[in-house]
Amino acid sequence: MLYRDRKQGDMNKGKWLGAGGKFEPGETPDECNAREVLEETGLRLRATHFYGVIHFRADEYEDEDMYLYSSDDFEPADEEARRVYRETGRYEPPECSEGRFEWIPKAEIMSLPMWEGDRAFIAEILRGCREISMTLSYTGDVCTVIDHGSR
Question: What is the C-alpha to C-alpha distance for residues 119 and 15, in angstroms, rounded to an integer?
Answer: 12
Nearest to 52 by CA among 145, 133, 126: 133
As averages over each run of 10 residues, the pLDDT of the chain (151 residues) reads 92 94 96 96 97 95 95 96 95 90 95 96 96 95 84 73
Give the pairing of strands 64-76 and 99-101: unpaired
Q: Measure CA of the first residue to CA of the last residue in the chain; give whole Å.
A: 24
* pLDDT value, residue 121: 96
Q: What residues contact residue 87 under an 8 Å CB cut-off, 6+ apart?
A: none
CATH for 29: 3.90.79.10
* pLDDT value, residue 45: 98
Please report, as a single letter, which amino acid is at residue 122: I
Please report, as a single letter, which amino acid is at residue 115: W
Q: What is the pTM of this model?
A: 0.90
State the CB neighbour count (10 A cutoff) for residue 30. Answer: 13
Domain count, the chain: 1
